[in-house]
Amino acid sequence: MTTDTAPRITSWHAAPSVPAFTPPPGAVDAHCHVFGPMAQFPFSAKAKYLPEDAGPDMLFALRDRLGFSRNVIVQASCHGTDNRATLNAIARSQGKARGVAVVDPAISDADLEALHTGGIRGVRFNFLKRLVDDAPKDKFLEIARRIQPLGWHVVIYFEADILEELRPFLDAIPTLVVVDHMGRPDVTQGPGGTDMKAFRALLDSRDDIWTKVTCPDRLDAKGPPWDDFANAVRPLVEDYPDRVLWGTDWPHPNMQDAIPNDGALVDMIPRIVPTAALQQKLLVDNPMRLYWPDC
């Protein structure tokens, strides 16, 4: 996509509500992104969408408005393998953000070390054809082996229809794995549907596969109040309470036609995680174990 002429997209709510639900102290928004600012950190020539700037100041203002303490910033596909926008946001967070990078397979060990120093704790492998041109499994496995000594994990983004095809690849990843948005199940099938069953089989295959119970707005086509999402996801959190993370997904890449209200997303939390003990695990203990084990 040429970044000179393409129209830039706004995919986030201008005035999200203050949620009725109060997250526990120290809560982590463990899946969010930054876009640019483009003048400082240009988008990739291979970007599949061209967003307006959504930089660190906006992210930290949202964090405070929603009652969260920390962010895990996931490198967005529109920035390709240039992680400078993500690193800039982490550097400006005063220790309140860490990140997940997307790296070129040819990255040097010194550059991996530099990412670690900059607050990166994982790499993301993206299998969505609408977001990336290729997803080379052999190269991804090489990267996974190289990040293992750093104590990092792999974050993986795929859709439910390729889960079975991906199983040998997933089995071969030597680090802890975090699956974005539960591998995008069809939540209308309910908690015992084909997609959720297949996803549970994956979780049962290894105790170091975690997931983000995120994105009712992406997964529940009926829209708010996202009842199908709540119905399908709540039992999953109850059954895997030590392996789940939660995040806003702000600034909601590609959601410009159904922009979610971030306050409403936070108000979904008690519907999928009804007890204070489970909320503490989901929002504080689990993300802290993964991203701030030093704290």
Binding stretches for ligand 0GY (CB under 6 A): 33, 76-78, 131, 180, 249, 253-254
From first CA to last CA, the distance across the chain in angstroms is 41
Give least dist CB 254 to ligand 0GY, A: 4
Strand 70-74 to strand 209-212: parallel, antiparallel, or no bridges (unpaired)? unpaired
Nearer to ligand 0GY, 184 or 278 (CB): 184
CA distance 188 to 241: 22
User: What is the closest distance, in whole angstroms, from the C-beta atom of residue 249 to ligand 0GY in the complex?
Assistant: 5
Instruction: Give me the helices (H) in 118-267, please.
Output: 137-147, 163-172, 194-205, 216-219, 227-239, 262-267
- Shortest Å, Cβ 231 to ligand 0GY: 22
CB of 74 to ligand 0GY, least distance (A): 7
Asked if 176 contacts 210 with a C-beta cutoff of 8 angstroms, the reply is: yes
Cα–Cα separations (whole angstroms), residue 144 to 100, 136, 284: 13, 12, 26
What burial letters (b/e) apply to 50-60, b meaning 16+ CB within 10 Å? bbebbbbebbb
Residue whose CB is nearest to ligand 0GY in the complex, by number: 77
Nearer to ligand 0GY, 122 or 253 (CB): 253
Question: What are the φ/ψ torsions at residue 81 (nearest 5 degrees)?
Answer: -100, 15
Q: Which is nearer to ligand 0GY, 126 or 286 (CB)?
A: 126
Q: Least separation, in Å, of the C-beta of 126 and ligand 0GY? A: 6
Is 249 noted as a catalytic residue in this protein? yes
CB closer to ligand 0GY out of 68 and 280: 68
Question: 157 vs 278, which CB is nearer to ligand 0GY?
Answer: 157
Among the options 180, 217, 249, 262, which is catalytic? 249
- The closest of 98, 112, 109 to 32, measured between CA atoms, is 98
Cite the active site residues. Answer: 249
